[in-house]
Amino acid sequence: MSTPKGDSFVIIYAAIVCLICSLMLSATASTLKKPQDYNVEIDRKMNVLKAFGVSIYDENHKRIKGPAVEAIFNEHISELTLDGATGQAVASAAEAKDPLPLYVWKEDGVVKKYAFPISGKGLWSTIYGYLALEGDLATIAGTTFYRHGETPGLGGEVEADWFQNNFKGKKVVSNGQRVKFEVVKGKVADKYPQGNDHAVDGISGATLTGNGVTRFINATIDKYESYFKLQRGS
């Protein structure tokens, strides 16, 4: 006849099971962290490329893989950290009072475009993206909005190609002067019958989202303006 187990045995047994489970979970998390970090980094680089106007799809209309993203990124892009207060490039973020990341696109060693992260409040959420400027630092080369929590079909259209393509060729500097970029309510042609080179059509039913995009794009460009002025020689 077996001897009944005491409470101490149950406690010890439960503790051993919990310890084993904890070790297994820790090992699994450690194993998964590296590929997760890699995927986050590839997503960042892919969105920077998209802002620069690089197609992120192959000839079969499938998203290019990590190695292809890294190859294009490493061939053409240099990453800088700026001091927003002085407009000077610094060796590390620790050396800047207001560190700002900047991506520089080069072809044959010549700077062609610049890109930087943009983010701010829409209607319901923070919207994240990247904006690229041509080498003149006056003309928008492209943009991408890749993460948000706006209403699908309304403010969520910030991620649609038709909306993002509106930005290409628009101006943030005109006649040597900084001009405010604008996402209008409705159509640019209705608000500005004579035309406007620093405004884009808004999203129907999403005026507040558009107002948020207007605010944070202008606020972000203004942060970089001290550096941009140095590059323009103005």
Task: Establish if 195 belongs to a structural domain.
Answer: yes
Task: Establish if 52 belongs to a structural domain.
Answer: no
What amino acid is encoded at 9 in this protein? F
* Crossing angle between the packed helical segments 66-76 and 7-51, to the nearest 10 degrees: 50
Query: And the tokens for 139?
Result: 């003309």
Residue range 62-85: mean pLDDT, rounded: 93
Task: Establish if 72 belongs to a structural domain.
Answer: yes
What total of structural domains would you count in the chain? 1
Run of H or E including 117: strand 110-121
Using DSSP's 3-state secondary structure scheme, residue 195 falls into: coil
pLDDT for 2 equals 47
Measure CA of the first residue to CA of the last residue in the chain; give whole Å.
95
Task: Establish if 178 belongs to a structural domain.
Answer: yes
Q: Edge to edge, what strands does the sheet with 77-83 contain?
A: 88-90, 77-83, 99-107, 110-121, 126-134, 140-147
Encode pLDDT of 9-60 as tens digits.
777 777 787 777 777 777 666 665 777 888 899 999 999 999 999 998 888 8
Residue range 124-149: mean pLDDT, rounded: 96
User: 116: pLDDT confidence band, cut at 50, 70 and 90?
Assistant: very high
Task: Establish if 92 belongs to a structural domain.
Answer: yes
- Domain hosting 76: range is 66-232
Task: Establish if 99 belongs to a structural domain.
Answer: yes
Encode pLDDT of 155-170 as tens digits.
999 999 999 999 999 9
Of 80, 86, 77, the C-alpha closest to 227 is 86
Task: Establish if 50 belongs to a structural domain.
Answer: no
CA distance 138 to 134: 7
Task: Establish if 55 belongs to a structural domain.
Answer: no
User: 3: pLDDT confidence band, cut at 50, 70 and 90?
Assistant: very low
Encode pLDDT of 168-225 as tens digits.
999 999 988 999 999 999 999 999 999 999 999 999 999 999 999 999 999 999 999 9
pLDDT-wise least confident of 4-18, 59-73, 88-102, 115-129: 4-18
pLDDT for 47 equals 95
- In percent, the amount of the chain with pLDDT more than 90 equals 70
Of 99, 97, 77, 81, the C-alpha closest to 89 is 81
